[in-house]
């Protein structure tokens, strides 16, 4: 699948009450354009950072956990955007795609 537009949705937007409306506007705007949404880590990455400090995780473990945090936030974005699907379900990666 060809990706036409890439949009980063930072984790801090997960705390914003208008996030669902933003995702809906992307859905309305995109038309026949293939949009890849790259999620930040959001509150999930915040937990990784806290555990990194608390139990002194290795950089390798913390990095892998942060990637999983991005996956979790991406699943949250998919749930908020009715037409979105995880890119992993399309065989192109683990981010969110409209």
| DSSP one-letter string for the chain | ----EEEEE-GGGGG-TTHHHHHHHHHHHHTT--EEEEE--HHHHHHHHHHHHHHT--HHHHHHHHHHHHHHHHHHHHHHSTT-EEGGGGTS-SSEE-
What pLDDT digit, counting tens, does each position of 3-13 carry? Answer: 889 999 998 88
How many structural domains compose the chain?
1
* Predicted pLDDT at 55: 97
* Predicted pLDDT at 76: 93
From CA 78, how far away is CA 98, in angstroms rounded?
9
Side-chain-facing half-sphere of 26: CA atoms under 13 Å: 24
Retrieve residue 89's tokens: 């379900």
Reported as a pLDDT band with limits 50, 70 and 90, residue 89 is low
pTM of the model: 0.81
CATH code assigned at 16: 3.40.1160.10
Range of the domain at 9: 5-97
What pLDDT digit, counting tens, does each position of 35-74 carry? Answer: 889 999 999 999 999 999 999 999 999 999 999 999 999 9
* Predicted pLDDT at 15: 86
């Amino acid at each position: 699948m060809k990706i036409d537009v890439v949009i980063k949705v930072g984790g801090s937007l997960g705390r914003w009450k208008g996030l669902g409306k933003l995702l809906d506007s992307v859905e309305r705007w995109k038309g026949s354009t293939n949009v890849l949404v790259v999620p930040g880590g959001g509150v999930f990455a915040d937990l990784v950072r806290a555990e990194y400090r608390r139990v002194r995780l290795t950089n390798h473990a913390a990095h892998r956990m942060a990637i999983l945090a991005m996956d979790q936030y991406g699943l949250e974005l998919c749930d908020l955007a009715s037409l979105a699907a995880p890119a992993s379900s399309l065989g192109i990666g683990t981010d969110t795609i409209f």
